[in-house]
Amino acid sequence: MTELSKATHIQWQQYQIDAAARARLKGHQSAVLWFTGLSGSGKSTVANALEQALLARGVHTYLLDGDNVRHGLCADLGFSEADRRENLRRVGAVAGLMVDAGLLVLSAFISPLREQRELVKSMLPPGKFLEIYIATPLEVCEQRDVKGLYKKARAGEIANFTGISDPYEAPLAADLVLNTAQSSLEQSVDKLLALLANKGVIA
């Protein structure tokens, strides 16, 4: 149970098939690559391209995207700090189940506060959380403004918008830092594949 559990008289059920057995079956290790950065930094784009490269290598993956989970799993949450924390807690719980299932999980979430990211990391087995900081500068993200969100935030139409009215805390010790304004998509994917190989996640 986590510190947030309210249920009592429950016990984790152990089964004979574990994460190690599933890893042997799949031929690679499971882990969570946590892509963090400002809106428009390129998190989902890089994660999507990496997933395609991993699929071509026979790696079993799943991509959890910040917008997509709010259509179902987190449809009842807003964007206050408390709701964002709960949003990430739920995602962390789902990612943990997927890691146990033997998947390489790619999670693309702004996750602006270090405390939020540390919460997710604490929910996973040691060594299973790799933090990927998409360090694209705010001015570049704002120039892209693919969804028109920065324009609305500047006009005061969106409250609690990271980078404008809310802070973003950059990772202090990310496993990999990428700047999509300086590196091509192919270069970013190559760096990620090298990281996964160096960590022993993939061959």
Long-range pairs of 148-155 with CB within 8 A, sequence gap ≥ 24: 149/39, 149/40, 150/39, 150/40
Cα–Cα distances in angstroms (integers) from residue 52 to residues 4, 58, 60, 62, 64, in the given order = 35, 10, 11, 11, 14
User: Pick the catalytic residue: 39, 111, 122, 165?
Assistant: 111
Output the CA angle 133-137-32, nearest 5 degrees. 15
Crossing angle of helices 81-100 and 114-122, rounded to 10°: 30
CA 54 to chain centre: 16
Give, for 191, the enclosing helix (H) or strand (E).
helix 185-198
5 is catalytic: no
User: Which one-letter amino acid corresponds to residue 73?
Assistant: L
List residues with catalytic annotation: 111
